[in-house]
Structure 1
Amino acid sequence: MLRWRLAMSAVLIPLLAGIFALDHSFGRSAPILLVFGCVLAYRGADELCDLLHTRNFTPHRFTVCALSMLVTSAAWFGRSRIFPIDVPDDGNTLAQVMLAYSLSILIMFFVSAYRYREPGKSMETLGAELMIVSYVGVLLGVCAQLRWVAGAEAGYLVMGSLVIVTKAGDAGAYTLGRLFGRRKLVPLLSPGKTYAGAGGALLGSALGAYLWLTFATPFFNATWQPPEWYWTVLYGVIIGIVGLIGDLCESLIKRDVGKKDSAGLLPGFGGLLDLLDSIIYSAPVAYILWKAIPLATWKIPGA
């Protein structure tokens, strides 16, 4: 299993890096990331539809997939000619993401009213649909904001920091958990997680943040200075904690509906949501940290 996971990682990591590099070459409008984000939104919503299509939950697949893509793509409103909607002066499109989400709520209620036939299912299904669009569409829409939060030139330094830190945390958790894991962290929810693994997640995240932000920052621009080491470690530890919680929260969904993986998309990994759980859950916190602590040592356009 470990060899298979390493082999899959050897394919997925260069593929993701290639998508990021291609999108970076297009500049601020980020059209490749827009397409990639919509694909992720569609697939993530589709997986959640399958997971939640149980008991009294019967989410309408087309509706939630389309609305998840709409909310995710709202991060590009005003940045692309496809979406000629004004963006606030600071370049922040979080307002547009929330507007798209609000419209999605209206549409989901309307569809639920249109589909109503008898008591007993409507509210459960509507709740499941709201959760899907919130979990997939809103979190991916906020994640996309990292492409611009520290300036368009630094977009993939910032997005890379989120991916590197969360996945370094996963690697640290797996390593120390296998070597020293005895005491279970939350045995009813995620039997494989241990206190040693949680410590490894924090160590891995802190180390990943330090290495990435120290050595990758001047690679993106030779005039940029890396942030102070203690800020990078703080960033890594906080994202490591939040990423660990995000992993547990996705486990909550799967355990409650009696599933081991979100899908069988990638052998050894599970579904797309099994790959993205800690990343999208940590994205809002990463956005706050890039605004709140001095990780960007360069002048941000419009700031």
Structure 2
Amino acid sequence: MLGWRLLVSAILIPLLFGLFYLDQRAGSGAPYLLGLCLLLAIRGSYEMTSLLTVRNLAPRFSMVSRWSFLICAVAWIPYTWGESQPQIMSLALMSVTFAIAIIVIFLVEATGFREPGQSMERIGAEILSVSYVGFLLAMLAQLRWVIGPETGYLALGSLIISAKMGDIGGYTFGRLWGKTKLIPRLSPGKTQVGGVGAILGAALGAFLWLQFTPSLFNANWSAPAWYWSILFGAIIGVVGLVGDLCESLIKRDVGKKDSAELLPGFGGLLDLLDSPLYAGPVAFLLWKFLPLITVSN
């Protein structure tokens, strides 16, 4: 199983970065990334609503997918209309759209109310699903422009490499040397040694990415001090591990092993995206406040 996971990762990650290369050449409007995010929003909504169709939750796919799709779509408007401060406007549009989604979810449930015992459960499940799939996905995509339109995929790539190297490191260390369980009732497969491996793997991935790729995106950029790269990766490793555990919480509470059967050994789309989705907002802040590139005059 370890070899299979490494093989699939070795195929998927280059394909993803091939898409990023095409999108980089298409300009700051990022049309390929938009298309990918919209597809992920639809698929993620399907998996999330399927997961939560238990007890009295029963979130509606039509409601969750519509608003998740819309949150991702409106995030692109400022980048295509030539706004002077596109990222501020993009974040504002995302937030307002999410707030309207909450209002509409409540309104639809109120107008269709028949009897006690289900409305609040469905409202909670739908708001959770739109938050998880729509808002966190749109927030993740903001790394494409985090320090300006010229950022390209340096920042987004740093998160993906760190998070997935953390996943690989955690799985490898856990399988080879892990004995003591991390949180056995929540995630029986995760070990304390695996947690250390996740942090080390993410730190290594960030170090390699940030030390060797900045000049490929801009000739005036060079690597930051090595300790900033490792700090960035270690933090992403910790947050990604928490994201993995939180997605395990959702699956265990509804009595399912995977979010779907999309890829053998990986589960569904949400199983692949759990650590990047959770780490996206943290990576955004780290790119804002840490000197993760050096600009030469």
TM-score range, shorter chain: over 0.9
Letter in 2 for 1:19: L
Q: Does 1:260 align with 2:253?
A: no
Which residue pairs with 1:23 in the alignment?
Answer: 23
One-letter code of the match for 2:11? V
Q: CA deviation at 1:223?
A: 2.2
Report the AA paired with residue 287 of structure 2.
Answer: W
Q: CA deviation at 1:43?
A: 0.8
Change (3 A) 1:171 1:6: closer
Q: Is the 8 A contact 1:146 1:158 kept in 2?
A: yes
Query: Given the superposition, is the C-alpha separation of residues 179 and 11 from structure 1 closer, same or farther in structure 2, using an over 3 Å criterion?
Result: closer
Task: Identify the residue that residue 67 of structure 2 maps to in structure 1.
Answer: 67
Which residue does 2:152 correspond to in 1?
A: 155
Q: Gaps (5+ residues) in structure 1?
A: none
3-state secondary structure, aligned to 2:185: coil
Q: Is the 8 A contact 2:79 2:86 kept in 1?
A: no
Partner of 1:4: 4
Structure 2 partner of 1:169:
166
Q: Deviations over 1:76-99 (max 9, x none)?
A: 122225xxxx85636332111101
1:103 maps onto 2:103 in alignment = no
Distance in 2 between residues matched to 1:245 and 1:226, nearest whole Å: 28
Separation in 1, partners of 2:233, 2:10: 23
Partner of 1:89: 85
* C-alpha distance 298-108 of structure 1, shift in aligned 2 (>3 A): farther
SS in 2 for 1:188: coil
Using the aligned pairs only, state the percent identity: 56
Aligned residue type for 2:155: V
Report the Cα offset of residue 123 of structure 1.
0.6
Q: Matched residue of 1:185: which SS?
A: strand
Which residue type is aligned with residue 25 of structure 1? R
Whichever residue aligns with residue 71 of structure 1, its letter is: I
AA partner of residue 187 (structure 2): S
TM-score, reference length from structure 2: 0.95
1:119 aligns with 2:130: no
Q: Which residue of 1 aligns with 2:288?
A: 291
CA contact under 8 A between 2:2 and 2:172: conserved in structure 1? no
Whether 2:179 is the aligned partner of 1:182: answer yes
Moved more, 214-223 or 269-278: 214-223
- Secondary structure of 2:114's counterpart equals coil
Q: Which moved more, 1:5-14 or 1:263-272?
A: 5-14
Q: Output the aligned Cα RMSD.
A: 1.5
Say which SS state the counterpart of residue 191 (structure 1) adopts. Answer: strand
Label 1:88 to 1:118 Cα distance change in 2 as closer, same or farther (>3 A): farther
Q: Cα deviations across residues 184-213 of structure 1 (Å, max 9, x unaligned)? A: 110000011111011111111111111000
Which amino acid in 2 is paired with 1:91? Q
1:281 aligns with 2:278: yes
Q: Tell me the amino acid that sits aligned with residue 143 of structure 1.
A: L
Aligned length: 295
Structure 2 contact 169–197 (Cα < 8 Å) conserved: yes
1:140 match: secondary structure: helix
Quote the residue 1:47 is aligned against.
Answer: 47
Whole-angstrom CA distance in 1 between matches of 2:86 and 2:287: 15
Deviates more, 1:69-78 or 1:142-151: 69-78
Report if the CA contact (8 A) 1:74-1:141 is conserved.
no
* Higher alpha-carbon deviation: 242-251 or 114-123: 114-123
Q: Pick the aligned partner of 1:272 from 269, 272, 279.
A: 269
State the alpha-carbon separation in 1 of the partners of residues 69 and 86 from structure 2.
24
> How far did residue 175 of structure 1 move?
1.6
SS at match of 1:78: helix
Task: State whether structure 2 residue 201 is matched by structure 1 residue 204.
Answer: yes
Question: Aligned-pair distance for 1:116?
Answer: 1.8
Q: Secondary structure at the match of 2:190?
A: strand
Q: Distance in 1 between matches of 2:114 and 2:56?
A: 14
Kindly indicate whether the alpha-carbon contact (under 8 Å) linking 2:240 and 2:279 is maintained by their aligned counterparts in 1: yes
Q: Deviations over 1:152-185 (max 9, x none)?
A: 2222011000000001111111121122111111
Q: 1:88 to 1:102 in 2, by over 3 A?
A: farther
Structure 2 distance, partners of 1:104, 1:87, is: 24
